[in-house]
C-alpha cells in the first residue's frame, strides 16, 4: 500500500463546475496535510494546508480532512481553465522530521 494515494486522473470538469480531488494516507499519526498545484514543467505551488478535522476554505478552494478515515480532499468551486494542472496531496509527520510524503498527483482538466 502506498503511503499517500490519489487517483491519477485525468479528471475532466466543465468550466464553472466543482472539481473534487481525493487523497488517502496510511500513517495514522500524520499531522499536517497539504495540497500543491503543479503546472506542466513547473515546480509545486502550495495552495492549501489543513491540520484539524473539518473544512478549511480559502477563496474558491476548500480542503477537507477526516483523520478517522485517513482522508483529505480538495474542492475547487467555479473551476476555470487556468485551474488545469496536476494537484499533489502531501502528508507530513513532524515526528519523522517534517519531510513531505506525496501522492502521485491527480491531473485536472477544466474544459471551457
Partner 1 sequence: DTGVSQDPRHKITKRGQNVTFRCDPISEHNRLYWYRQTLGQGPEFLTYFQNEAQLEKSRLLSDRFSAERPKGSFSTLEIQRTEQGDSAMYLCASSLLGRHYEQYFGPGTRLTVT
Residues in touch with partner 1 (CB under 8 A): 4, 8, 31-32, 34, 36, 42-46, 49, 51, 88, 90, 92, 94, 97-105
CB-nearer residue toward partner 1: 13 or 101: 101
Residues forming a β-bridge with 65: 54, 72
CB-nearer residue toward partner 1: 16 or 59: 59
Q: In the bound complex, what is the minimum distance in angstroms from residue 1's beta carbon to partner 1?
A: 15
Residues with Cβ < 8 Å from 97, sequence gap 6 or more?
none
Q: What burial class does residue 70 get, using C-beta atoms within 10 Å of its C-beta: 0-12 exposed, 13-18 middle, 19+ buried?
A: middle
CB-nearer residue toward partner 1: 18 or 46: 46
Amino acid at each position: 500500500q502506498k503511503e499517500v494515494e490519489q487517483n491519477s486522473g485525468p479528471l475532466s470538469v466543465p468550466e464553472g463546475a466543482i472539481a473534487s480531488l481525493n487523497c488517502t494516507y496510511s500513517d495514522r499519526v500524520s499531522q499536517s496535510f497539504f495540497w500543491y498545484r503543479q503546472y506542466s514543467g513547473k515546480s509545486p505551488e502550495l495552495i492549501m494546508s489543513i491540520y484539524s478535522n473539518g473544512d478549511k476554505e480559502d477563496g474558491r478552494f476548500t480542503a477537507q480532512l477526516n483523520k478517522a478515515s485517513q482522508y483529505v480532499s480538495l474542492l475547487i468551486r467555479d473551476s476555470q481553465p487556468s485551474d488545469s494542472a496536476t494537484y499533489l496531496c502531501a502528508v507530513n509527520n513532524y515526528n519523522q522530521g517534517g519531510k513531505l510524503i506525496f501522492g502521485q498527483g491527480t491531473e485536472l482538466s477544466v474544459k471551457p
